[in-house]
Structure 1
Amino acid sequence: MRSYLFKGAEVFAPEAKGCCDVLCVGPKVVALGDLGGVCIPGMEVVDGRGLLLLPGFIDNHVHILGGGGEGGPATRTPEMPVEDPLTGGITTVIGVLGTDDVTRSVASLVAKARGLWAEGISAWVMVGSYQLPVATLTGSIRSDIALVEQVIGVGEVALSDHRSSQPSLEELLKIASAARVGGMLKGFGGKVNVHMGDGPRGLSMLREAAQGTEIPVDQFIPTHVNRNPDLFREAVAFALDGGVVDLTTSTTPQFLEEGEVKCSRGLKEMLHAGVDPSRICFSSDGQGSLPVFDQGGRFKGLTVGRVTSLWEEVRDAVQEEGVPLETAVRVITSSPALFHRLPGKGFVAEGFDADLVLVDQDLRIRHVLSRGVMAVRDRELLLKGTFSPR
């Protein structure tokens, strides 16, 4: 069992802790503070002076099996290799399906998550896709969440999108109720990840669900809410009313020119409007397709989302928008960990998982520790997937 002592780094847990030492033994953080006298056989001391130590990043919306397919079989995007998230400081992912539940399945999604776990990062999944009824393993949303180790919620259910199954309010409420009860039985969040399209209905159905029933507004996590200015403004109001919102970091110059709100700028604007950062998270939509459709809904082309965009947008929020690091880093650490109730994730604290990222003063990633294993050292990727060249 490997042990690491990170000496003298400035710790953001994500709250600022100042300069201190962090001791990791095996997969856990066991101590923080002035640990100069600690000596464990085989312990490796890592000089953290001049570096910033952060919790491992959580990407709560990734197409780990690949996504896309809107333009035919040749547009199915590839699976995510474990090297991609580790390079970007991501030590935890939550996998989703998306549009294609025909050539991809929940069973394959769960198997991919297990594979990623075996290769060195933590991975959970949401059951279902854009289509209804929700695709499950056991025939029940509640049973999938309560009994299948990797399953923690439902998603991504699509609203306000021409690819959606156009669920009724009653159908959406039944999904949310089943996910919530399944989460309670498991001890996880049991959230419903909601893909938001460009349609004019926006978040209206989620507001109606929260206002007309006992289901709390934060049972839903609407994602892609920065895709246009009108939806973004709705998302600000939704978060101010206690909702949780998810901004997508993968984008293209064309999307930004057409009005998509850049995540770093969106975070600043939400904070300025009074939204608590605990109600905001970023996700990459990694390996998902970023399709372009014309006004008639006809496919025109696509690019692929990148998990490495997650840290890039947090970095831009700090360096270009002036958001304090301890606030900005919450949207990819403590906030998603608390939303989903991920055990041992999102914080640098005794008893939590040894998922750590050390960055330099320019916020470039230097070291990554994933469940106590050194995955990136001095910017060199050490931990590689089963089929990667050695």
Structure 2
Amino acid sequence: MTMGLTLIKNGLTYTPSPIGKKDILVCENSILAIDDEISKDSVITLDPSALVIDAEGMLVAPGFIDCHIHFNGAGGENGPQFRTPPLQLSSFIRAGITTAVAPLGTDGVCRSLKELLAKCRGLDAEGITAYIYTGSYGYPPVSITGDVMSDIVLIDKIIGTKIAISDHRSSHPTVTELRHLISDSRVGGMLSGKMGLVMAHMGDEEGGLSIIREALSGTDIPKTQILPTHVNRNSKLFTESLKYFADGGYIDITTSITGNDGSISPVDCIAMAHNKKIPLSSITLSTDGNGSIPIFNSSKEIIGMGIGEPSSLFSTIKEILCNTNIPKEDVISLVTENVAERLKLTKKGRITIKGDADILLISISDFSLQYVIAKGAVLMEKGNIVRKGTFEGLAQ
């Protein structure tokens, strides 16, 4: 009887904590065993069709979690022709992303949460794990059921809420409105066993993080309930974010922000935080992948347009591993364990027995991605994508 076994042998394993060379046995979509030696012959006896992967010379890590990626498209700031299209499965595989969480972007009018939810379930069927946020840039927040609390409680794939603040494209919610949103998202999470995280898109406006500080002030709501993202979009905001750490805050750095035009590259951000002895466990990385990146002049008129790259997540981790002396476990945690803790995804972000079998194999010699395993299935083998989305490769 086929059991769906996969044996990974001889890999230098990071859970993300370093545990040395280990063999890992996967049964269907879960990790069954981790040991110094698991007999290949015994596995083949149990399951003659078992896959055995020799991970000698490879670093074994948990699959990456992207907590802010626009997998159903975003944009539209310069007209309908600037709406980005949905992402295909191969974009996630190439980036080592085995879990993805998507919000709506600027457009909460023509883009719908129902459509986003359908794309989410489609990606789940194609091979990775996907979730979404309710809400969008604006306030009052858009929702499926009528309010964000009900969305989080009643819809399995909705695990938090999106809002934009300190941005000329936002609705400029008041402190009371933001506090109300955070509270509703938190209670929704409590009632459903989820985190109910508020993902706060940060813009360039002078107010920065002050509205978050004010909204949480005088309450018992922990700072883990809200995660400001894009904090590396300008040096003033990032400097403010470093102070936010001192008060127990958490931040998300965007890997699609390259460090041009006054922004700070994600690699420089992590190096700065490490040099200031800020615990990297307070930081996550996400891509803003597939989101439009409009370029504005001083009058906030669009003068150019870019797009966030999902591949920037893996390339950023690779660059940090190659060019800094930051411990590998701290670097890997930025896109695995840290994110899983922020989102309360208890079976994600770690290589552990009974955890989800989302695993990456990375060449130690050049840090190239060699294998991607999601839900126990091999999606990339020896650097080649072996599973594609439903419509990839079909004639146009």
TM-score range normalised by the length of the shorter chain: over 0.9
SS in 1 for 2:67: strand
SS in 2 for 1:113: helix
Q: What TM-score results when the alignment is normalised by the length of structure 2?
A: 0.95
1:33-44 aligned at under 5 Å gives the runs 33-37=35-39, 38-39=42-43, 40-41=46-47, 42-44=49-51
SS in 1 for 2:217: helix
Aligned to 2:29: 27
Aligned to 1:319: 322
Confirm whether residue 74 of structure 1 aligns to residue 81 of structure 2. yes
Compute the displacement of 1:240 (Å).
2.6
1:271-282 aligned at under 5 Å gives the runs 271-282=274-285
1:189-268 aligned at under 5 Å gives the runs 189-252=195-258, 256-268=259-271
Aligned to 1:162: 168
Compute the displacement of 1:88 (Å).
1.0
One-letter code of the match for 1:173? Answer: R
Separation of aligned partners in 1, 2:103 and 2:306: 18
Aligned to 2:123: 116
Compute the displacement of 1:167 (Å).
0.2
Confirm whether residue 379 of structure 1 aligns to residue 383 of structure 2. yes
1:98-137 aligned at under 5 Å gives the runs 98-137=105-144
Aligned to 2:179: 173
Compute the displacement of 1:214 (Å).
2.0
Aligned to 1:388: 392
Separation of aligned partners in 2, 1:101 and 1:240: 34
Greater alpha carbon shift after TM alignment, 256-265 vs 50-59: 256-265
1:350-361 aligned at under 5 Å gives the runs 350-361=353-364
Compute the displacement of 1:35 (Å).
3.1
Compute the displacement of 1:257 (Å).
3.1
Question: C-alpha offsets along residues 140-173 of structure 1, whole Å, 9 cap, x if unaligned?
Answer: 2111101101000001x11111001000000001
Confirm whether residue 298 of structure 1 aligns to residue 304 of structure 2. no
Greater alpha carbon shift after TM alignment, 317-326 vs 42-51: 317-326
Between the two proteins, what is the percent identity of the paired residues? 38
Compute the displacement of 1:272 (Å).
2.1
RMSD: 1.1
Question: C-alpha offsets along residues 55-99 of structure 1, whole Å, 9 cap, x if unaligned?
Answer: 000000011111111111111111111110111110000011010
Question: C-alpha offsets along residues 307-327 of structure 1, whole Å, 9 cap, x if unaligned?
Answer: 110011111112123222111
Separation of aligned partners in 2, 1:316 and 1:56: 17
Separation of aligned partners in 2, 1:82 and 1:11: 26
Compute the displacement of 1:342 (Å).
1.0
Asked if structure 2 preserves the Cα contact closer than 8 Å seen for 1:53 and 1:359, the reply is: yes
Aligned to 1:145: 152
Separation of aligned partners in 2, 1:171 and 1:224: 21
Aligned to 2:18: 16
Confirm whether residue 336 of structure 1 aligns to residue 336 of structure 2. no
Question: C-alpha offsets along residues 206-238 of structure 1, whole Å, 9 cap, x if unaligned?
Answer: 111222322222211000001111100111111
Asked if structure 1 preserves the Cα contact closer than 8 Å seen for 2:179 and 2:216, the reply is: no
Aligned to 1:182: 188
Q: What TM-score results when the alignment is normalised by the length of structure 1?
A: 0.97
Unaligned runs of 5+ in 1: none
Question: C-alpha offsets along residues 283-342 of structure 1, whole Å, 9 cap, x if unaligned?
Answer: 000000111011111111211111110011111112123222111010100001011101
Separation of aligned partners in 2, 1:154 and 1:32: 36
Asked if structure 1 preserves the Cα contact closer than 8 Å seen for 2:233 and 2:257, the reply is: no
Q: How many equivalent residue pairs? A: 386
One-letter code of the match for 2:186? Answer: R
Greater alpha carbon shift after TM alignment, 271-280 vs 86-95: 271-280
Compute the displacement of 1:185 (Å).
1.1
One-letter code of the match for 1:95? Answer: A
Compute the displacement of 1:2 (Å).
2.0
Asked if structure 2 preserves the Cα contact closer than 8 Å seen for 1:289 and 1:302, the reply is: yes
Unaligned runs of 5+ in 2: none
